[in-house]
Structure 1
């Protein structure tokens, strides 16, 4: 066995030496009062001091990066405690209580919150090591006992008195219960430990049938096991069992039975050794509880919540049903990154307490999932508030500031709600539905909530299914490029083309460019898809320019993800070099929302594009989004206006007057105006009079394949480019 004193132990800080010594002294004092320790107190205290140093080293080691800790040292520590007779349930409880509190008061483990999880892990491993060491010692003792008994029986003809004396000594001093029966199960010898377990004096049990002491549910099975042992089908019985105490209560034991043979190697007796399993069961139950609960908040974790949810669904009122709420703190990363992990953990603890307080009057099951996500399952009763009221109460409680280190912390919360699902709904389905509702709530911004609707869920699932299969469709060439004319309003001549995405999934129908982009953004496909679209468009437009000898421009839009991509310039330069497309003939549209929010590298990318010679364009979708104010500060070549701004507006209305002023405002910054979505000649005349230069829309032609666009360019454009 490895001596814990030989383990590599980091030196404690100077102010921690005395605290360690005091903690070891307290530990030794409390353990020494429980039972017999085979050492003088000074030596025992020195042993525990060495063990304490080893445990401190394990706490340090478990926190080191790339280091899982040394399980061997903990096994050695557990074995040493077992050797010192400190492996009983009471001793383990004292050890866990003293060290659980004491370690976190040592100066080297401050602040305690940072070391709490390590200390719990090390103490849990120590407890398990003690139990394993005790079990091994018990098994070794049982094996030794069996060998002693076998030898005593075999030598009984010559040394009966000596063998009987040895057996009596072993049985009397053993902490395990020993029951010797004849071959029909009648007890002939019972030691004191077995009597204590069963609440009888040993002589009260002698002469009784062993199987009368077995719980009725297990009696017949155990009889069959003993018959198998007698016939030689098995060499030993080793199993968990339930015996009956004198008061009728079941006693959980670990039972090991062997067959004793006498003269001529004939079976003579059964010897049964039983070990009280109550303390071990309690420890196992506690470890199981910790595995099913969140260490930080004490709430059931996701696994426990799902299991208990299955049971609660079956017992819910068939009329009122249940309500499941899925909550997530908005911008939780801001607290964690700005104030540190401790503040974030304290906030989560406070949120758990607030949830318990709000739901105290309801029959509810609470859980903490991953990160800042919680779940609440309410068994609806006659007085249970409707979902709107529940959400209101939860949001009101969670907006109350929680003070951590002098900072008042309060975050908004997004909530997804599933109310009164079908009675035969399964827990997994409800969890998925609540997650979908939460996802939709978060898509609407912070502090929002959404009620699950089956029809909306169906549409969301169809959208998610399309997003999931889109990468495969792109890989197989089913996602294609489409082109529409970019026309000069002054004379109707084709100035260039806009390249867009098109996909026609089987059974769904053609999807627009915007629909394709939303799906691609969902899975992160937009970056490689956008690079492919740019390259395809540059090659096609370059071929048209060569064949038609016309100075065609190409317009391509970027999604917010693309606009903020740190590798945007690298991707674009690579495509331009590969296709030899002139940068000054490329118009790249960036979404105004990404610029206004300054997402990622969006503003830097715009400036880099302009420096490269590319013509940046900003899209404007409304009157109040402030896009034109951005134009004055950025190197923007064009502004793209939505023709839909004209819908339902009288030509002489004040709003129409504002729209007429937009091109002039853009011109003052040096930007041209592109109008999107023109469908009528009247709209074309309006924007031409307002001063707009370019336009796209169905009035001039919708998105189409290259061969379909050939008629716009003339006969020479009808030929296809070479592969």
Structure 2
């Protein structure tokens, strides 16, 4: 460069060996006189260049590292902020949870709680931090449960259970407690978190459902389901311990009369007090259950001697004979008790209950208000009843029922004006079955309503057949059951039978008993009144065997009084029976009621009844019950004699 010196100019130079290397040239212009000279200073700057290269590389690396670290720091700050936000949100969530959250240290002292804990337990945070949670103290009361909790949280890291706890105010609440371990970076648990759910409402609902499923709502006694459960649970224990068990079946005598006459509210009160009296008679560990209606059972386990059972049985009989005072009413009942013993009589629950039931019916047959033990003879009766029940199920469908007719003799005219229709059952497998056996079974099962409707229609058809055959007007009497009288559709059923067969109401007579009137007074008055208004005759059967016979003649529309055969049987030998019959006849005729004497078996009885001016007689002396063909022939023959 002209006129100036060049300093620090860097160039590349070539060595003799051909390698290139960096140099720095500094040129200075000088004058020697007028001669212009240049001094050049050349430096090998290879090392400097290498150092500068290293510096640039180090700087670049540093910038990269700074940039990377800046990114890391930015990310960490973001993560920290997100973590802080997450913790803040988690804290807000925990604070607003309906479940209580309790953090405890390794000694189970509280570190922190959320507000829900105070709401559930009643303990403010300031009063409970640093102390053990109340539910831990509850767990300690149950040593086995407390050990399970410790094992669960320390070994498995988790444990949960449902238990009843106590609030600060002393009230109980049900809680589901779930413990979880909180571990540090070393994996060792240093704290525990407990989540507490208040499940009181659910528990109470479950208890209500359990109670409704297993206990009688009226008396609070175990119901049929719980009774069977306890009996089935007790029997294996009796087998292992070689102890006996007594099962009692108790039926209240006279309950139905009280329930129907005084009302169901009074009947319910009687059942409740009966339950209390039964509970007062038993030992600790015994079970009193109500199977339904007025039927109760008692399970007496752990008996060394079966003779202990009748002691309790007599205690129960004595308790039940005392009067019941029910809202101003004084009522009396008794109990019929059947007793069976495990393993003497049976080894399973079904057979034991069946045996006790059979023994109870035997107690009723023995006059009620007593207890009877099960016997092998009763077993035969039970088996027979079961066979009969099974047979009855399809007897109507298979056409196995038949009506027999027992004519009644009009003593004044010597004619047959009426006949009683009597049910007969002939089974292909069992043969001819006594009505005394199958009719009570039909009453039990309710089948008597359906069969009774069939009998009513069949009797009406028979009356029509006799009229069409040219026979005299024969009124047919049909026996009515208590279940039929209670049936709201019974009057309609009678109307339909008359309409279907085309006979008049004067061709039909309904026979009822005093006991039916006593048990269904209100319904009986209405139903019998409607039937009587239709022109249907109503007869009272078995008159004199009830309690208030005379009052019924005024209260109910009775056309005919039938004197029970128990009085007629001894009319010739017992002056009292004779006078009773004379009085009934005189009284009935004074009230314009027709009198029929049942069970007339010989000429002497007939002669006395004729002297007493009885209207009609019925019995084997005149005619046994006859199948419809024989009855038709008999009635025709009697009509031709006149």
| TM-score (ref. length: structure 2) | 0.62
Matched, 1:683 2:609: no
Alpha-carbon spacing, 1:440–1:175, altered in 2? closer, same or farther (3 Å): farther
How far the C-alpha of 1:29 sits from its partner, in A, is 11
Q: Counterpart of 1:493?
A: 415
CA separation in 2, counterparts of 1:5 and 1:328?
A: 61
Q: Is the 2:529–2:556 contact (alpha carbons within 8 Å) kept by the matching residues of 1?
A: yes
How far the C-alpha of 1:340 sits from its partner, in A, is 12
How far the C-alpha of 1:623 sits from its partner, in A, is 6.1
Matched, 1:315 2:241: yes
Which of 324, 334, 349 is residue 247 of structure 2 equivalent to? 324
Matched, 1:102 2:171: yes
Matched, 1:418 2:418: no
How far the C-alpha of 1:533 sits from its partner, in A, is 0.8
Alpha-carbon spacing, 1:325–1:651, altered in 2? closer, same or farther (3 Å): closer
Matched, 1:555 2:477: yes
How far the C-alpha of 1:447 sits from its partner, in A, is 5.0
How far the C-alpha of 1:37 sits from its partner, in A, is 6.1
Alpha-carbon spacing, 1:692–1:369, altered in 2? closer, same or farther (3 Å): closer
How far the C-alpha of 1:668 sits from its partner, in A, is 0.8
Alpha-carbon spacing, 1:31–1:465, altered in 2? closer, same or farther (3 Å): farther
Alpha-carbon spacing, 1:398–1:486, altered in 2? closer, same or farther (3 Å): closer
> By percentage of residues, which structure has more helix?
1
Alpha-carbon spacing, 1:350–1:500, altered in 2? closer, same or farther (3 Å): closer
Counterpart of 2:592 in 1: which secondary structure?
A: coil
Which of 27, 32, 45 is residue 118 of structure 2 equivalent to? 45
How far the C-alpha of 1:563 sits from its partner, in A, is 2.9
How far the C-alpha of 1:42 sits from its partner, in A, is 4.5
Counterpart of 2:629 in 1: which secondary structure?
A: coil
Q: Could you list the runs of 5+ residues in structure 1 that have no partner in the other structure?
A: 10-23, 50-81, 104-118, 146-164, 177-282, 719-723
Matched, 1:667 2:589: yes
CA separation in 1, counterparts of 2:516 and 2:450?
A: 19
| TM-score (ref. length: structure 1) | 0.56
Q: Counterpart of 2:296?
A: 373
Q: Is the 2:102–2:113 contact (alpha carbons within 8 Å) kept by the matching residues of 1?
A: no
Q: Counterpart of 1:306?
A: 232
> By percentage of residues, which structure has more strand?
2
CA separation in 2, counterparts of 1:5 and 1:618?
A: 81
CA separation in 2, counterparts of 1:402 and 1:551?
A: 52
CA separation in 2, counterparts of 1:409 and 1:96?
A: 46
Q: Counterpart of 1:13?
A: none
CA separation in 1, counterparts of 2:616 and 2:327?
A: 58
Q: Is the 2:246–2:340 contact (alpha carbons within 8 Å) kept by the matching residues of 1?
A: yes
Q: Counterpart of 2:445?
A: 523
Q: Could you list the runs of 5+ residues in structure 2 that have no partner in the other structure?
A: 1-89, 123-152, 194-202
CA separation in 2, counterparts of 1:555 and 1:38?
A: 90
Which of 501, 504, 523 is residue 426 of structure 2 equivalent to? 504
Counterpart of 1:170 in 2: which secondary structure?
A: coil
CA separation in 1, counterparts of 2:325 and 2:616?
A: 57
How far the C-alpha of 1:33 sits from its partner, in A, is 13
Q: Is the 2:360–2:372 contact (alpha carbons within 8 Å) kept by the matching residues of 1?
A: yes
Q: Counterpart of 1:583?
A: 505
Q: Is the 1:441–1:448 contact (alpha carbons within 8 Å) kept by the matching residues of 2?
A: yes
Q: Counterpart of 2:533?
A: 611
1:684-721, CA deviations, whole angstroms, 9 ceiling, x for partnerless residues?
22222211222222223222222222322438999xxx
CA separation in 2, counterparts of 1:604 and 1:402?
A: 30
Matching of residues 255-274 of structure 1 within 5 Å: none
How far the C-alpha of 1:455 sits from its partner, in A, is 0.7
CA separation in 1, counterparts of 2:354 and 2:302?
A: 19
Which of 457, 471, 477 is residue 379 of structure 2 equivalent to? 457
CA separation in 2, counterparts of 1:344 and 1:100?
A: 39
Counterpart of 2:540 in 1: which secondary structure?
A: strand
Matched, 1:705 2:631: no
Counterpart of 1:655 in 2: which secondary structure?
A: helix
CA separation in 2, counterparts of 1:430 and 1:672?
A: 50
Q: Counterpart of 2:614?
A: 692
Counterpart of 1:474 in 2: which secondary structure?
A: coil
Q: Is the 1:302–1:369 contact (alpha carbons within 8 Å) kept by the matching residues of 2?
A: no
Aligned residues: 491
CA separation in 1, counterparts of 2:612 and 2:555?
A: 23
Q: Counterpart of 1:262?
A: none
CA separation in 2, counterparts of 1:313 and 1:573?
A: 60
Matched, 1:532 2:458: no
Q: Is the 1:294–1:301 contact (alpha carbons within 8 Å) kept by the matching residues of 2?
A: no
Alpha-carbon spacing, 1:31–1:367, altered in 2? closer, same or farther (3 Å): farther
How far the C-alpha of 1:588 sits from its partner, in A, is 1.3
Alpha-carbon spacing, 1:653–1:472, altered in 2? closer, same or farther (3 Å): same
CA separation in 2, counterparts of 1:639 and 1:685?
A: 19
How far the C-alpha of 1:385 sits from its partner, in A, is 4.6
How far the C-alpha of 1:458 sits from its partner, in A, is 1.8
Alpha-carbon spacing, 1:412–1:171, altered in 2? closer, same or farther (3 Å): farther
How far the C-alpha of 1:359 sits from its partner, in A, is 2.7
Q: Is the 2:103–2:111 contact (alpha carbons within 8 Å) kept by the matching residues of 1?
A: no
CA separation in 2, counterparts of 1:469 and 1:5?
A: 71
Q: Counterpart of 2:187?
A: 170
CA separation in 2, counterparts of 1:404 and 1:96?
A: 41
How far the C-alpha of 1:174 sits from its partner, in A, is 8.6
Counterpart of 1:510 in 2: which secondary structure?
A: strand
1:482-502, CA deviations, whole angstroms, 9 ceiling, x for partnerless residues?
222232223432213322211
Larger radius of gyration: 2
Matched, 1:645 2:567: yes
Q: Counterpart of 1:359?
A: 283
1:620-670, CA deviations, whole angstroms, 9 ceiling, x for partnerless residues?
344664424422343221111234423244458343233223212111111
1:250-287, CA deviations, whole angstroms, 9 ceiling, x for partnerless residues?
xxxxxxxxxxxxxxxxxxxxxxxxxxxxxxxxx9xxx9
Q: Is the 2:95–2:115 contact (alpha carbons within 8 Å) kept by the matching residues of 1?
A: no
How far the C-alpha of 1:378 sits from its partner, in A, is 4.3
Q: Is the 1:539–1:579 contact (alpha carbons within 8 Å) kept by the matching residues of 2?
A: yes
Alpha-carbon spacing, 1:322–1:579, altered in 2? closer, same or farther (3 Å): same
Q: Counterpart of 2:515?
A: 593
